[in-house]
Chains A and B, each alone.
Chain A
């Protein structure tokens, strides 16, 4: 029965292995980086890992935080949500990191949330999301719905658009955004029949879902595009898209093929940033709109320095497998960058790495002048920042059309707009 004996010995060996802890130096502070470096989300999240490592090097070169050098602990969540929870536990319970920067998808954040709450950890979350959440242990540098969707609609209303077609991938971010937008549009006096994409009602007739939804990885947009074309026939129509990732390619291809253009019926997308254009053909999107709290094309000394420093860092980086060519900066990257500096400022103000005191400082309001302008942390764990509306150019960059200064981050928007 050597099989069982084998199991026994390997069990012991592995148990020993998994409890091994690397030695901790005194003059460093451990900081977790929790992103997917493999799997479906790797294409987006690896960029955030890169910018975080760059930020740590930048801070370390200037003496670190409270005199301690940042020692990054990078783990791979592998686009696997239970693994995210496991890695979060490992960072908090074994590595005892002072803070963690990470997550992209809402589901990954939802997966690690109980871990951060029960271990009294601190997570900075940098990617636009649906709100409806406010954990005491998470700081959301991310764009809330009110910092992307509603300013974009304001802009479109200003430009005289009267009909809005809502389209998204079927998951919680688009569903929530569209419900908020529905209330917002009604409050602005847009009649219900001018909001396209369809509604789903419950038995009492209350709208529980607004807009058209397609599953992840959907490729056949022929029918939807012809529906949009019909809807847009009267003019003054625009499309508000929360389509996610790869599905944008067939959608915009079909859109262009149907003869719809940015002039006849513009599409404003909330999930396509400069970094996505590394994998998307920008040609078909020329003229279409985007809305973020940062664009690479912002003309400011702070932004130019940030881009130049990041490129210089990339050029001499020795991180295995890092992509050095054709790199751009985008909002989630800048919000990761900003998050590190907000944390640093809070730690220095509190004079300690203790999570509770750092959070207290952040709640009091900490400002940082970042590449996208000044950001300020709020009591509700979100941040005030500038919002930009941009037009897609052929090179995958955005031409900035409009800026909304110092927009407050509010996670709970649903039910706050009253119809006229």
Chain B
């Protein structure tokens, strides 16, 4: 991907295509849904896929562009989800099982009054700030320690994995007052709208599509900027970057925090759409799955993770219904095919076809040249 190493403006044609796709998701799909051409179920499902796309982008920004394979992205995704979940739990009010103005699990644990750290989450703006602050802070502290100590390669992956696992164990504990194993469920309202109504779901879908578009465009510009150049240089040869006088730890830290925020926003959008957040979301498996989506879609491109997250999850949704006994084999088979035959993922297919055609042409040409020469000779 040598062309992306160049600082150059993005072609007009690309802007047009991005705009068309974004228009399709933000306007056309919701319209089709409101007229009944696309079911509420499908809209809701696609809302979920787009949240997964945010997670995959956050993985790719680190892995594909900076060479850092983080297995902690599911943690940031869940932290964002938990922050949104806390707000949604407060919005249940006294409609819970025990009819008290407090989440059911706190009543059950014997709390008479809301614990102090729960109180501000009744405010939506506060919860949204926390969606950015909490994962951002975790990423900053962890990243600062890791990058200062020059933790690289597989060690970085192992550490992020351990961080995620530790956090999930912590959240599993009922003492955390975050719902333990059951987590948060049974949400009712978001900003006064009934969370179970098709209109709210459509609204959430539109918001998700818009945020994904903004993220995509923003990162497209970032990765093509001078900053993006350094970022990719870190991936290709970090020592050279260091010797050239750049502080690579600071670059990495910035990217790490940025990607944690993208993951977190994805998680915050995910929870109201799927209706549950619990600690099993922050397992290493989930981080690894996002890595697989990225690989399938095309690592090191920004469109790749989106294509990967959407297509793998759509395939999963379909196969768990159509072939409940065999879907793992179908999915696994697909991953093997991608790894073996499509190193650049789904978005690499056009390039592969082009290369193949060019090769065939080159093989043909010498023969044709020889044939022409021959006829020329004969003519002479």
Name A residues whose Cβ lies closer than 8 Å to a Cβ of B.
Answer: 1-8, 10-11, 14-15, 17-19, 37-38, 73-78, 80-83, 85-87, 89-90, 93-94, 106-107, 110-111, 113-115, 118, 132-133, 170-172, 175-176, 200, 202, 204, 206-209, 215-216, 319-321, 414
Q: Least Cβ distance of B36 to chain A in Å?
A: 11
| A93-B314 contact, Cβ under 8 Å, with A3-B350, A8-B21, A10-B307 | no
| A1-B17 contact, Cβ under 8 Å, with A7-B307, A37-B324 | yes
Q: In the complex, A107→B181 CA distance in Å?
A: 7
Interface residues of B in 31-73 (CB under 8 A from A): 38-42, 44-46, 48
Closest 5 interchain pairs by CB? A208-B110, A171-B181, A82-B274, A4-B17, A76-B324
Q: In the complex, A204→B35 CA distance in Å?
A: 57
Most buried by A among B108, B173, B183, B306: B108
**Residue from B13, B175, B180, B298 in contact with A1 in the complex, judged by beta carbons closer than 8 Å:** B13
**Residue from B109, B180, B276, B301 in contact with A3 in the complex, judged by beta carbons closer than 8 Å:** B301
**Are A90 and B20 interface neighbours, CB within 8 A?**
no
**Are A82 and B183 interface neighbours, CB within 8 A?**
no
Interface residues of B in 93-137 (CB under 8 A from A): 97, 104-105, 108-112
15 contacts between A and B (CB under 8 A): A6-B307, A7-B303, A8-B17, A18-B317, A74-B324, A76-B325, A77-B320, A81-B276, A86-B317, A107-B183, A110-B182, A114-B186, A132-B104, A175-B174, A208-B110
Q: Per-residue CB proximity of B194-222 to A under 8 Å, as 1/0?
A: 00100000000000000000000000000
Q: Which chain B residues lie closer than 8 Å to A77 at the CB level?
A: 320
The chain A residue sitting closest to B11, CB to CB, is: A1
**Are A82 and B276 interface neighbours, CB within 8 A?**
yes
The DSSP consensus for interface residues of chain B is: helix
Q: Known pairs A4-B17, A18-B314, A90-B321; list 9 more (Cβ under 8 Å).
A: A1-B11, A3-B304, A7-B306, A18-B317, A38-B327, A81-B183, A111-B275, A132-B108, A215-B173
The chain A residue sitting closest to B20, CB to CB, is: A8
Q: Which chain A residues lie closer than 8 Å to B349 at the CB level?
A: 6
| A171-B306 contact, Cβ under 8 Å, with A7-B21, A132-B108, A202-B110 | no
Q: Which chain A residues lie closer than 8 Å to B110 at the CB level?
A: 202, 206-208
Q: Which chain B residues lie closer than 8 Å to A171 at the CB level?
A: 172, 174, 180-182
Name B residues whose Cβ lies closer than 8 Å to a Cβ of A.
Answer: 11, 13-14, 17-18, 20-21, 24, 29, 38-42, 44-46, 48, 97, 104-105, 108-112, 169, 172-175, 180-183, 185-187, 196, 270, 274-276, 278, 280-281, 298, 301, 303-304, 306-307, 310-311, 314, 317-318, 320-321, 324-328, 346-347, 349-350
Q: Which chain B residues lie closer than 8 Å to A81 at the CB level?
A: 183, 276, 278, 280
**Residue from A106, A172, A321 in contact with B325 in the complex, judged by beta carbons closer than 8 Å:** A321
**Are A5 and B274 interface neighbours, CB within 8 A?**
no
Q: Which chain B residues lie closer than 8 Å to A216 at the CB level?
A: 172, 181
Q: In the complex, A202→B318 CA distance in Å?
A: 48
**Are B17 and A111 interface neighbours, CB within 8 A?**
no
Q: Which chain B residues lie closer than 8 Å to A175 at the CB level?
A: 174, 180
**Are A3 and B38 interface neighbours, CB within 8 A?**
no
**Residue from A2, A14, A319 in contact with B310 in the complex, judged by beta carbons closer than 8 Å:** A14
**Are B24 and A11 interface neighbours, CB within 8 A?**
yes
Q: Least Cβ distance of A205 to chain B in Å?
A: 11
| A115-B326 contact, Cβ under 8 Å, with A170-B180, A209-B174 | no
Q: In the complex, A111→B276 CA distance in Å?
A: 6
Q: In the complex, A4→B13 CA distance in Å?
A: 11
Q: In the complex, A114→B186 CA distance in Å?
A: 6
Q: Least Cβ distance of B139 to chain A in Å?
A: 23
| A208-B109 contact, Cβ under 8 Å, with A1-B17, A4-B17, A111-B276 | yes
A-B contacts at CB below 8 angstroms, number: 173
Q: In the complex, A414→B107 CA distance in Å?
A: 12
The chain B residue sitting closest to A134, CB to CB, is: B97
**Are A87 and B321 interface neighbours, CB within 8 A?**
yes
Q: In the complex, A3→B303 CA distance in Å?
A: 7
**Are B41 and A85 interface neighbours, CB within 8 A?**
no
Q: Least Cβ distance of A420 to chain B in Å?
A: 22
Q: Least Cβ distance of A21 to chain B in Å?
A: 10
Q: Which chain A residues lie closer than 8 Å to B321 at the CB level?
A: 73, 75, 87, 90
Q: Least Cβ distance of B172 to chain A in Å?
A: 6
Q: Least Cβ distance of A44 to chain B in Å?
A: 16
Q: Which chain B residues lie closer than 8 Å to A87 at the CB level?
A: 320-321
| A14-B314 contact, Cβ under 8 Å, with A1-B11, A170-B180, A172-B182 | yes
Q: In the complex, A3→B11 CA distance in Å?
A: 14
**Are B105 and A78 interface neighbours, CB within 8 A?**
no
Q: Which chain A residues lie closer than 8 Å to B44 at the CB level?
A: 89
**Are B320 and A89 interface neighbours, CB within 8 A?**
no
Q: In the complex, A17→B315 CA distance in Å?
A: 9
| A114-B196 contact, Cβ under 8 Å, with A1-B11, A89-B41 | yes
Q: In the complex, A56→B303 CA distance in Å?
A: 46
Q: Which chain B residues lie closer than 8 Å to A90 at the CB level?
A: 41, 317, 321
Q: Least Cβ distance of A176 to chain B in Å?
A: 7
Q: In the complex, A73→B104 CA distance in Å?
A: 33
Q: Which chain A residues lie closer than 8 Å to B278 at the CB level?
A: 81, 107
Q: Which chain A residues lie closer than 8 Å to B14 at the CB level?
A: 1, 4
Q: In the complex, A87→B274 CA distance in Å?
A: 11
**Residue from A1, A18, A37, A114 in contact with B45 in the complex, judged by beta carbons closer than 8 Å:** A18
**Residue from A3, A7, A114 in contact with B275 in the complex, judged by beta carbons closer than 8 Å:** A114
Q: In the complex, A60→B281 CA distance in Å?
A: 40
**Are B172 and A18 interface neighbours, CB within 8 A?**
no
Q: In the complex, A4→B21 CA distance in Å?
A: 8
| A83-B320 contact, Cβ under 8 Å, with A14-B311, A110-B186, A175-B174 | yes
Q: Least Cβ distance of A64 to chain B in Å?
A: 22
**Are A170 and B172 interface neighbours, CB within 8 A?**
yes
Q: In the complex, A118→B198 CA distance in Å?
A: 11
| A86-B172 contact, Cβ under 8 Å, with A38-B328, A94-B39, A208-B109 | no
**Are B347 and A19 interface neighbours, CB within 8 A?**
no
Q: Which chain B residues lie closer than 8 Å to A107 at the CB level?
A: 181-183, 185, 276, 278, 280
| A4-B18 contact, Cβ under 8 Å, with A15-B42, A37-B325, A132-B108 | yes
Q: Least Cβ distance of A48 to chain B in Å?
A: 13
**Are B185 and A111 interface neighbours, CB within 8 A?**
yes
Q: Which chain B residues lie closer than 8 Å to A7 at the CB level?
A: 21, 303, 306-307, 310
